[in-house]
Structure 1
């Protein structure tokens, strides 16, 4: 989490004067200023998002003014600085932006904060039961295999889908009524971080929904979550990692515990393994060896300069500071990227996975895919639409959805898993700001 200090170039605390400039400083909790400058009040807030993304390539964030979300489409002139001059930047875990979901459905947020769902109805693709709660003010969505959870601008959480898999959050409802700033899901459970640093979990108890065994370690300081199939990993503000859930799927990290005691900056999971990026840019892996838990084959390439890691069900892909991509794990699930190696040698800015394939966005807005063809690794049917202008890609179990700069959505992969979005095409033609 970070903060933005904002002041206007005139003495009027109301920023609705379009002739004024607004000065912002993007400041991390450590005090490090990652960006600063004056922006015209006539600009949209996406200029602030772009500055934040330059500081942390591949990471997504939320801008909050008090308890209200600032969307990229809001004009800076619309911000009421009388509410305060400190705007929080909440960095979202890669599990929200780049991690594949085991779901066979998608949920998209438009600029007004309402939600559109499609795909397998039983996996959350049908959200009519909670539709009145999602007509506005939704700012983040996270999905697992059978359910979704959404954060609203007031910090409350709405859930739907399979009841036993997190779609029913009534057992922890009082804890989710306010103050939630981040969500993460594994296959059958969810975890939420609150503004006070506390953690709330629900869903399948044996799959991470019950975090009581590590509750004292999660009482405060949890800053990023990653969930795989049956386990969670949380990196804390002090750089240490806490894991829980099924031991064989990465819930037990004792084999690499000394390496995870400090300096961890990001954690990502496949179905049954985890990978952690350290402050020096190296990568530590644990869990099922065949699913990416053993990275010895590419160890020299992971010794430094890694800035993002993403997983499919059984493979990882890592982006290095020079924009190149390193892959390992199951070859058929994207661990072998030799077929597109020349396209991944430079200029990659984001990677996302389904269960068996990866999609990478390049600096020019084009998309490269590889891995299992039926899981989105073959994007030839929509290739002209992916040649430019892509700003975000999200994967579920067998399909991808990509947002273009004009707010439209392109989908491909298994039709029944959301790869065919024709039923909601008019709703996805413009104004979409997030897909999960």
Structure 2
């Protein structure tokens, strides 16, 4: 999800954090648990959850929005294989394919009492979140959704109270009953890739939930990524298709000649960053949210292997394990305070 801080895993399994201290940028409270053995993590807007090599989970950040997992601690002591976040809740998949959720109930942290609880006891292979809802893919290729309309955490930007977060997938239920292989969330909508390379979208129509205008181009899709109100899909030929709110990066026309040979894309709140096959990075969308990377342009011309976004900033990992950041300093765009720890050995940032 879109966050206000970054966390990086180094090759020795230790974690480095920076950005807004209140919302996960300061991990000192759990520092002894993050010195080794961390293999994967994920963030809500205000907290982080890290999986260790023994399958246990460590959380930090705002207690209300996933930073406190003590109520579910017995279920998170072992066997966790993946973790995912909405704006204010986490969902973890365990080795037996069951799901454990915690955090704000209004953001999907209440799956045990939801109408779909019985569908989340086994067979779940992937989960993704929007601002207030989760979508899970089961082993048979079907999709289960739960959560709420946007009614928690922070007021939605340019959306009315109670706007859709993709929690209701009934309108496309017949398309989600089988064959789904990957799913991605923007802030208010979901996009699912099916085995035949087609894409199914639902949620707020104006913020990526309606892809009808680009439907003819959404064949052969290999990857999809969401920003706040837009999606970017990479096709098998390396071209990119965007849709949704133009201010969120839903229009990539300004960089169209450059968006070829793309191998990975990541979103902030209102911008996208794409890695090309030659290791260079192309950005578009709102300059204030990382859409303008010119200040670090020379560092992004080659050797970039991964890129990640927070609410208003991006972080790129280079082949030598160093990290380059840009965008809003308060959301992680300035990593100078921990720069000495980011010169080598980083293999994941969230």
In which range does the TM-score fall when normalised by the shorter chain?
Answer: over 0.9
**In 2, Cα distance between the equivalents of 1:404 and 1:423?**
19
Which of 180, 196, 199 aligns to 1:283? It is 199
Deviations 1:106-126 (A, max 9, x none): 000111000000000011000
**In 2, Cα distance between the equivalents of 1:433 and 1:299?**
35
Which of 109, 117, 123 aligns to 1:221? It is 123
Equivalent residue number for residue 280 of structure 2: 366
2:111 equivalent to 1:211: yes
Structure 1: gaps (5+ residues): 1-100
**In 1, Cα distance between the equivalents of 2:82 and 2:61?**
19
Structure 2: gaps (5+ residues): 150-163
Deviations 1:166-190 (A, max 9, x none): 0000010000000000010010000
The residue matched to 1:252 in structure 2 has which SS?
coil
Q: Tell which structure's C-alpha radius of gyration is larger.
A: 1
Deviations 1:142-182 (A, max 9, x none): 01100000000000000000001000000100000000000
Equivalent residue number for residue 310 of structure 1: 225
Equivalent residue number for residue 161 of structure 2: none
**In 1, Cα distance between the equivalents of 2:148 and 2:207?**
15
Equivalent residue number for residue 70 of structure 1: none
Equivalent residue number for residue 23 of structure 1: none
Equivalent residue number for residue 95 of structure 2: 195
> How far has the Cα of 1:416 moved from its partner?
1.0
> How far has the Cα of 1:103 moved from its partner?
1.3
> How far has the Cα of 1:141 moved from its partner?
1.2
> How far has the Cα of 1:102 moved from its partner?
2.1
Structure-to-structure mapping, 1:35-434, within 5 angstroms? 101-212=1-112, 213=114, 214-247=116-149, 248-302=164-218, 304-344=219-259, 346-434=260-348
> How far has the Cα of 1:215 moved from its partner?
1.3
The residue matched to 1:258 in structure 2 has which SS?
helix
**In 1, Cα distance between the equivalents of 2:2 and 2:21?**
14
> How far has the Cα of 1:371 moved from its partner?
0.2
Runs of 4+ in 1 over 3 A off after TM superposition: none
Equivalent residue number for residue 58 of structure 1: none
The residue matched to 2:296 in structure 1 has which SS?
helix
**In 2, Cα distance between the equivalents of 1:180 and 1:191?**
10
> How far has the Cα of 1:288 moved from its partner?
0.2
**In 2, Cα distance between the equivalents of 1:157 and 1:292?**
32
**In 2, Cα distance between the equivalents of 1:276 and 1:413?**
28
| Range that drifts further, 246-255 or 292-301 | 246-255
> How far has the Cα of 1:379 moved from its partner?
0.1
TM-score between the two structures when normalised by the length of structure 2: 0.95
**In 2, Cα distance between the equivalents of 1:419 and 1:249?**
27
> How far has the Cα of 1:130 moved from its partner?
0.1
**In 2, Cα distance between the equivalents of 1:340 and 1:402?**
19
Equivalent residue number for residue 152 of structure 2: none
Deviations 1:293-330 (A, max 9, x none): 0111101001x200100000000000000000000000
